[in-house]
Amino acid sequence: MTKKRFTWQKILWLILAYVTLAIGLAGAFLPILPTTPFLLVAIWAGSHASSKFKWWLLRHKHFGPGLRDWYRDKAIAKPAKILAVTVIAVSWLMIVLNDSPAGVIAFTGMLFVGCISFLLTRPNPSNNP
């Protein structure tokens, strides 16, 4: 029986995977913090160290379907797009209504338009039109 050895690179990949997973999980409960980008980084980093980690996340009851859609088709389901665009729009509205400086409003507006454009140009998953 051979014993698997963890190299320092694998340990660093796992640390990055677990840190981004923790941030992503926090984002599931905090409206200002995104979940999916951190989970995508967690899969990417975790797959460098452990295929078990990657498959555990892809098979996760709550996060797995969206991550599988992205992993397979670079697709985002329509309900997720609607939710993301709504949260972005509400966030920008809060920035505007809090009398933020014009530069902040303009910069975040351009940033958010870019994010929304990216989201809306992603295809729907092939199994979920």
The predicted structure's pLDDT at residue 4: 61
What are the residue boundaries of the structural domains of the chain, listed by start? 1-73, 75-129
The predicted structure's pLDDT at residue 109: 94
Q: Both tokens of residue 5?
A: 């050895």
Residue 74 to residues 70, 71, 100, Cα–Cα distance (Å): 4, 6, 35
Convert the pLDDT of each residue in 25-36 to its tens digit.
Answer: 998 888 777 788
Convert the pLDDT of each residue in 41-91 to its tens digit.
Answer: 999 999 898 889 889 999 999 888 988 998 889 999 999 899 889 988 998
> How far is residue 80's CA from residue 102's CA, in Å, rounded to a whole number?
30
What's the pTM value of the predicted model, to 2 decimals?
0.73
The predicted structure's pLDDT at residue 82: 92
